[in-house]
Structure 1
Amino acid sequence: MSGATDGDEVGVGPWPGGPAAWPDDPRYDPELLAHGDRRNVVDAYRYWTVEAIVADLDTRRHPFHVAIENWSHDLNIGSVVRTANAFNSAGVHVVGRRRWNRRGAMVTDRYLHVHHHPDAAALATWAAGAGPGGTRLPMVGIDNVPGSVPIEGHPLPRACVLLLGQESTGLTQAAQAVCDVVLHITQHGSTRSLNAGAAAAIALHTWVLQHA
């Protein structure tokens, strides 16, 4: 959640003192130093190039991956990607259609490793050897389908794939079939389901509480 209020200008302006005062560090982007950095990044990354930020994030990625099915260009995929960036996921996997609506990601996908798989079976094949030392990454579905287990109090694997379905239809039967377990977020109101972006945020934060 942003700390900016109405009227606040996001980011920072040009580096004070002009080119003569610029830091002698290859991580810094001359264009940003000259014109300011208005990106949605934490202060520690101000003026850094995208490549430098990605390289630094790579040194401390969390060992979980986030996957989401994409069969109808769900607008919420961008929100899921942004959430994956916020929790520094090891990777994001789009299952189904390769093209997805990036507007909700707010360019955070530039700082992630985004992969594509044509279907759930292909994702499972990738996960079979993607864990530490070539081991299998467990597949954890997130959906409130019959037979799902409450996520509250359920131990999550440290290295795993968290697989979410689409906003309208949830996880497909094919996706459920490749999951080791399907967890649901307990709800207490009248709505049938949570927004996919909100569900991803809760699931990822649950992982962080257990492992980070």
Structure 2
Amino acid sequence: MTDNQSEAEREVGLGPWEGPWPQGDHYDPDLLAEGDRRNVIDEYRYWKHSAIVADLDAKRHGFHVAIENWQHDFNIGTVVRTANAFLAKEVHIIGKKRWNRRGAMVTDKYQHVRHHPTVEDFTAWAKEAGLPVLGVDLFPDSVPLEAYQLPQNCVLVFGQEGPGLSEQIRQAAEATLSIAQFGSTRSINAGVAAGIAMHAWIRQHAQI
């Protein structure tokens, strides 16, 4: 894109609907009249927000994602955005309720996000839901993610940037999984690690 391109060419999405309006309760009259500039795929252009969420809910995958947030981890927005892209059932934030939504790029409007103030609250929820907790971190006893058969229904848990998974989560996890690394750094970004782990589930279980 060059500097002399018009502002209209830089606009995201579509303008007002041209021609007879489509029929269906899922369409939003305001968006049809004014245009749809939201960060949604073309299939959902001009749809009501509630209709999009309902359609996503009917298709969501069986995995959940959780991230610890004791020091306001800035990766949470990225995790939410990626969870939306891979259609996770829910994102769970353990610890502080507040998080920086900028990285989510408004996808938190379409992705269910649940808060757990403590690890105990989170693990009690997972037990009641019958979901195995799988931590993702580099521990001496971690199993390589690349060789692990992920359950179709599970919770993938990530520690915050720096400290990694808390000992409480490690003890509660059915297994801890490591991501193979080949360079000089001792770890990779928490948001990147979450994306890799989610895609590992997709490769094993999703209908492509």
Using the size of structure 2 for normalisation, the TM-score is 0.92
Counterpart position of 1:92: 91
Counterpart position of 1:107: 106
Alignment partner of 1:16 is 2:18: yes
Give me the whole-angstrom Cα distance separating, in 2, the residues matched to 1:40 and 1:145: 37
Which AA in structure 2 matches 1:167? E
What is the SS of the residue equivalent to 2:128? Answer: coil
1:167 equivalent among 152, 161, 168:
161
Equivalent residues of 1:120, 1:178 under 8 A apart? no
1:204 equivalent among 191, 198, 207:
198
Which AA in structure 2 matches 1:83? T
Counterpart position of 1:133: none
Give 4+ residue runs of structure 1 displaced > 6 Å after superposition: none
Deviations 1:11-68 (A, max 9, x none): 1111113xxx222211111221111111111110001111100000111110110000
Counterpart position of 2:49: 50
Give me the whole-angstrom Cα distance separating, in 2, the residues matched to 1:175 and 1:62: 23
What is the SS of the residue equivalent to 1:78? Answer: helix
Counterpart position of 1:27: 26
The residue correspondences of 1:62-211 to structure 2 (distance < 5 A) are 62-130=61-129, 136-211=130-205
Give structure 2 stretches of 5+ with no counterpart: 3-8
Deviations 1:153-202 (A, max 9, x none): 11101100000110121101111111100101011111121111111111
Which AA in structure 1 matches 2:46? Y
Give structure 1 stretches of 5+ with no counterpart: 131-135
Identity %: 59
Q: Number of paired residues?
A: 200
What is the SS of the residue equivalent to 1:182? Answer: strand
Q: Quick check: 76-85 or 138-147, which moved more?
A: 138-147
What is the SS of the residue equivalent to 1:170? Answer: coil
Equivalent residues of 1:82, 1:105 under 8 A apart? yes
Give me the whole-angstrom Cα distance separating, in 1, the residues matched to 2:11 and 2:89: 31
Deviation at 1:8, TM superposition (A): 4.4
Give me the whole-angstrom Cα distance separating, in 2, the residues matched to 1:191 and 1:182: 20
Q: Quick check: 28-37 or 196-205, which moved more?
A: 28-37
What is the SS of the residue equivalent to 2:147? Answer: coil
